[in-house]
Amino acid sequence: MTEEIIIAGFGGQGVLSMGKILAYSGIMQDQEVSWMPSYGPEMRGGTANVTVILSDERISSPILHFYDTAIILNQQSMDKFEPSVKPGGVLIYDGNGITRHPSRKDIHIYRVDAADEATRLGLSKIFNMIVLGGYMKVKPVVRLENVILGLKKSLPHRYHDLIPDNEKAILRGMEIIEEVKV
Amino acid sequence: MGELRLMKGNEAIGEAAIRAGVDAYFGYPITPQSEVIEYLMAEKPHERTGMVVLQAESEVASINMVYGAAATGKKVMTSSSSPGVSLMMEGVSYIAGAELPCVLVNVVRGGPGLGTIQPSQADYFQATKGGGHGDYRMIVLAPASVQEMSDFIKLAFELAFRYRNPAMILSDGVIGQMMEKVVLFDPIPRWTEEEIIKMSPWATTGKPLNRERNIITSLDLQPHVQEQRNIRLQNKYATIQEKEVRCEKIACDDAEYLIVAYGSSARIAQKALDIARAQGIRLGLLRAITLWPFPTKQIRELLGHVKGILTVELSSGQMVEDVRLAVEGRVNVEFYGRMGGMIYTPEEILGVLKAKIIGE
């Protein structure tokens, strides 16, 4: 099993940390992992993205141009990465701020309105965990208990009291994600 | 088994330095390797092992601090990225001339000049052919994973001290910035003063009554003496070339075609190899681990069954010259590269292989 993922959005949306939690979750289930961020000027106030690979085998290239799953959180990233989803692959996006919705017919498209939901819950900081929950529903590659272990590993100790909120957000994401037919 | 962690390549360099029993790190921040010094500062290694971490005022100062500290037989290192490493080249030549052990890390970015902060492999010539002046060589190791970023710190110090020679880890922005699993080696204690005196009798550790002064210098104004120094260096380099070549051969045994690559390019090429093999193309990959000494013999040995070679590098074509020297015109050697921080895809590499080597 190899799962090749791109997560892309604005800096500050928790794109890189969502990738890190996924990578840690992979380690918790004895997988090989790689996490390759964009580290350019775009990260400093613009778009940010990270490529995460989870695999049962040794990972060759950490840099990819086609993905099994694209998690897209802004319009710029939609323009850039919708064409990069492998045929038959998965595109997950948050509709907030999206003006041109995805239109490919050869991939599976899902929408998770995590930004709205996070605001409703009064938990804007765990927006990315709602998205992650949506991903986990669609692609059960990482198990919830391993994600919680991953969170414990990647969060500094002083934030460990926030883990229950994160778990709640993941479960909510699993509930609200919906398939979009184009 | 050692401790398992998820780390950036740059962080692994920092942690490995502490665990390798390094006495001092002198450096100056530059993207894409600033996490090395950031990690070291945050870890407070002076509390863990007594290791000194110092942000110098410039790269020129860093390398000369390395020069001075290395003269005392201590384990010392620095790290930088391309423009910063260029500034260090004078010091490296002096260190090589004075035959001092030390480790440099270059997390290469695109050039020339300030270039770009994105990954590149265009510093191969500088690392393996000179950079500084005079007939000197650096031992150059090219990690292709975060694991090797850690392991090669230990290896680089072993080689540097075995041959009293500077060793460089030539990485790039991909390996420096990415996170992977890494199994950390168990900590090695820093050497005591007594151990240093015993192991490195050449070091300036303070003159006792029973020996002559130890003088560390690269200067010999008398030509016949300077020639002898150069001959000694060349003999040492010949020994390194004979004994220290390292490379990884992937699917080479039955290979009809070969890709030669190193570092991050070897990772991308390996994916091209997987796709090629799935299409029934008998492709192999030779990953150079030591760039100097270069795996000349190891490439030559494959020429019995390899009909054509593609060298891929994130440059305009530097290592390909060493591949061509190894092959001596016996088979077709082609090159494919991207520059300025652009990175090829596995599909792109395979396309070039088919067009230029296989002839489809």
Tell me if B245 sits within 8 A of B213, measured CB to CB: no
pLDDT of residue A124: 83
Strand partners, B259: B285, B310
d(CA B77, CA B152): 13
B179 vs A contacts (CB less than 8 Å): 20, 23, 33-36
Phi, psi of A133 (to 5 degrees): -60, -45
The structural domains of chain B, with segments of one domain joined by +, span: 3-193, 247-358
pLDDT at B220 exceeding the cut of 90: yes
pLDDT of residue A42: 62
CA distances from A104 to A49, A82, A178, B135, B178 (A): 21, 8, 16, 59, 31
Tell me if B18 sits within 8 A of B51, measured CB to CB: yes
pLDDT at A153 exceeding the cut of 90: no
In the sheet where B102-108 sits, what is the strand order? Answer: B52-55, B24-27, B76-80, B102-108, B166-172, B139-141, B290-292
pLDDT of residue A182: 85
Residue-wise pLDDT for B20-69, tens only, equals: 999 999 999 999 999 999 999 999 999 999 999 999 999 999 999 999 99
Q: Which residue has the higher pLDDT, A10 or B161?
A: B161
B4 vs A contacts (CB less than 8 Å): 27
Phi, psi of B31 (to 5 degrees): -70, 140
Residue-wise pLDDT for B142-177, tens only, equals: 999 999 999 999 999 999 999 999 999 999 999 999
A36 touches chain B (CB under 8 A): yes
Q: Which of A25, A72, A61 is nearest to B178 (CA)?
A: A61
Instruction: Give the minimum alpha-carbon distance from B22 to chain A in angstroms, rounded to a whole number.
Output: 27
Cross-chain Cβ contact B179/A23 below 8 Å? yes
Domain housing A114:
2-180
CATH number of the domain residue A134 falls in: 3.40.920.10
Residue-wise pLDDT for A31-67, tens only, equals: 999 999 987 666 566 789 999 999 999 999 999 999 9
A20 touches chain B (CB under 8 A): yes
Three-state secondary structure readout of B109-125: ECCCCCCCCCECCCCHH
Q: Which of A29, A181, A6 is nearest to A78 (CA)?
A: A6
Cross-chain Cβ contact A37/B178 below 8 Å? yes
Q: What is the CATH number of domain B3-193?
A: 3.40.50.970
The B residues from 14 to 53 touching A (CB cutoff 8 Å) are 31-32
Instruction: Give burial (CB, 10 Å; 0-12/13-18/19+) of A121.
Output: middle
CB nearest to A35's CB, from B178, B268, B274? B178
Number of neighbours of residue B227 by Cβ within 10 angstroms: 11
pLDDT of residue A38: 87
d(CA A77, CA B221): 63
Number of neighbours of residue B320 by Cβ within 10 angstroms: 22
Identify the residue whose tokens are 């919680």: A148
Question: Quick one: tokens of B60?
Answer: 């020129």
pLDDT of residue B1: 67
Instruction: Give the minimum alpha-carbon distance from A154 to chain B in angstroms, rounded to a whole number.
Output: 9
- Interface mutation vs chain B, best among A7, A25, A31, A63, most B CBs within 10 Å: A63
Mean pLDDT (whole number) for B208-236: 96
CB pairs under 8 A between A and B: 63
Q: Does domain B247-358 have CATH number 3.30.830.10?
A: no
A34 touches chain B (CB under 8 A): yes
Domains B3-193 and B247-358 share a fold: yes
pLDDT of residue A47: 86
Half-sphere exposure at residue A126, Cβ-oriented, CA atoms within 13 angstroms: 24
Q: Would you place residue B285 in the very low, low, confident or very high pLDDT band (cuts 50, 70, 90)? A: very high
Residue-wise pLDDT for A63-99, tens only, equals: 999 999 999 999 999 999 999 999 999 999 999 989 9
DSSP category for residue B132: S
Instruction: Give burial (CB, 10 Å; 0-12/13-18/19+) of B182.
Output: buried
pLDDT of residue A45: 64
pLDDT at A12 exceeding the cut of 80: yes
Tell me if B261 sits within 8 A of B285, measured CB to CB: yes
CA distances from B76 to B18, B25, B217 (A): 11, 6, 18
The alpha carbon torsion through B233, B234, B236, B242 (nearest 10 deg) reads 160
d(CA B259, CA B281): 12
d(CA A68, CA B286): 29
d(CA B143, CA A17): 25
Residue-wise pLDDT for B85-142, tens only, equals: 999 999 999 999 999 999 999 999 999 999 999 999 999 999 999 899 999 999 999 9
Cross-chain Cβ contact B174/A36 below 8 Å? yes
Residue-wise pLDDT for B339-353, tens only, equals: 999 999 999 999 999
Q: Which amino acid is at B44?
A: K
Cross-chain Cβ contact B178/A20 below 8 Å? no
CB nearest to A61's CB, from B32, B181, B270? B270
pLDDT of residue A154: 82
Identify the residue whose tokens are 């007939």: B135
Q: Which of B135, B38, B134, B122 is nearest to B82 (CA)?
A: B122
